[in-house]
Amino acid sequence: MEVVDDGMWNRVPMAPGPIDRKYFEAASQGKLIIQKCRRCENTQFPPKMLCVSCGEEPDWVETSGEGKIYTFTVVRRHGVEPFSTLVPFVLAMIDIPEGARFMGNITEIDIETVHVGQKVEAYSLRIDETMALPLWRPIQSS
Ligand SMILES: [Zn+2]
């Protein structure tokens, strides 16, 4: 997955705990990762200390970084900067074939044609030297 560095991270300050930090660090290296249980093979996101299915400590696995829109909303008004300057924007839930559902922004998308089932790919926006935030954009059909 592409890591975009526009040099101007201006969203909320990011101070993730140790488990979430692995996710943002992987994104900084161009990888979209989820947890997979080493015992029961349950996949889960967002990350947790233990497998929600059996209680084992989960491993991390890299995904393809591609998924489909499960549902979405178009945010047209927002009272807080910097989001107020980004409207209208798409906030969606995205299902990936490896078995996890993400919530995130979809950028570079036409808000008039965005639809459930649309194929999207992850990319990440650099926060600092060690972390990046995964975002989503449409897969260009060729
Ligand atoms: Zn498990």
Q: Is residue 9 part of a domain?
A: no
Which of 12-16, 28-32, 52-56, 62-66 is least confident?
12-16
- Ligand 1 mean position, distance from CA 50 (Å): 8
Task: Look over the chain and give the mean of its residue pLDDT values, rounded to a whole number.
Answer: 93
What is the residue range of 67's domain? 14-138
Percentage of the chain modeled with pLDDT above 90: 82
Q: Is residue 114 part of a domain?
A: yes
Per-residue confidence at 141, pLDDT binned at 50, 70, 90? Answer: low
- Ligand 1 mean position, distance from CA 134 (Å): 25
- Ligand 1 mean position, distance from CA 51 (Å): 5
Q: Is residue 7 part of a domain?
A: no
Q: Is residue 4 part of a domain?
A: no
- Ligand 1 mean position, distance from CA 94 (Å): 23
Query: What integer pLDDT is reported at residue 68 of this predicted model?
Result: 97
**pLDDT beyond 80 at 18:** yes
**pLDDT beyond 60 at 142:** no
User: CATH number of the domain that 120 lies in?
Assistant: 2.40.50.840
Q: Is residue 5 part of a domain?
A: no
Number of independent structural domains in the chain: 1
- Write the pLDDT tens digit of every residue in 96-112: 999 999 999 999 999 99
Q: Is residue 69 part of a domain?
A: yes
Q: Is residue 3 part of a domain?
A: no
Nearest to 72 by CA among 100, 95, 91, 88: 91
Q: Is residue 73 part of a domain?
A: yes
- Write the pLDDT tens digit of every residue in 38-91: 999 999 999 999 999 999 999 999 999 999 999 999 999 989 888 888 899 999
